[in-house]
Amino acid sequence: MGHSHSHITQRVERAEKTGVLAVTDVKLEKVPESLLKQLWRLHALRTLDLSKNKLTTLPNPITGLASLKTLTISHNAFERMPDLSRLMMLEVLNMSHCGLGAIPSCNLLPQTLKRVDLSRNRLTSLPSDIPLPNLEALDVSHNLLTRLPPSIGALGALEELKSEHNQLSELPEQLCTCSRLKYLKIANNRLTAFPASLFACSHLVWIGFEGNPQLEEKHLSELTGYEQYLARRKDRINQLLK
């Protein structure tokens, strides 16, 4: 698939009508100048997909698309998180499979985000402060995380947390303050304990914890609130089977 000037122009013209622009799997090492020069035409762009390329950074014109709601830049070569804070309508960010080694600050992300996928990178930690009040789903699975920051408890809208296939040895007690948390995936870590308060303080309906040799269900069953969790899980399964 080429990315000549005429090819880019055709895609831009189509995006003007659909609000969706995809330039994927064409081995781009940088965003083409021909595209940057035409971005003024895409002031209403809602979805941008630049996945499966070789990008290492995003130029300022891209990070200034004021109407953008979904940004997919997965399967690229980012080593650092680009500054996306100007994307003030962004709700969905997919930055998986990028070789990302660190996120220096969540201030690089807009507070409008609802879903963030940072899976299959090389993250060893998350920022100590995560000011994303609208975040509903966070995927940090398949990284090198050894801990989750206590500030994750401030994510009041969080419903799903995927953190399987990391190196977590414990979970922060503050997770219990995520009162909307329903799905917690913590399989294949190094967990030795589970915060008892989570069962009593949340709406959890599913916990995936297999692959933690020292964390067995018989231990969880002794915790306060475990029976209520099983009842919620059963109700959820019945709802899905209807």
The chain-wide mean pLDDT, for the chain, equals 92
Check if the beta carbon of residue 12 is closer than 8 Å to that of residue 31.
Answer: no
Grade residue 5 by pLDDT with cuts at 50, 70 and 90.
low
pLDDT attached to residue 62: 94
Q: List the domain range (segments joined by +) for residue 48.
A: 5-241
Q: Give the mean pLDDT of 227-235.
A: 92
Count the domains in the chain: 1
Q: Give the mean pLDDT of 80-99.
A: 96
pLDDT attached to residue 1: 42
CATH of the domain at 74: 3.80.10.10
| The residue count for the chain | 242
pTM higher than 0.85, yes or no?
Answer: yes
List all residues 6 or more positions away from 41 whose beta carbon is below 8 Å from its beta carbon. 12, 16
Q: Give the mean pLDDT of 39-47.
A: 93
Q: Give the mean pLDDT of 46-75.
A: 96
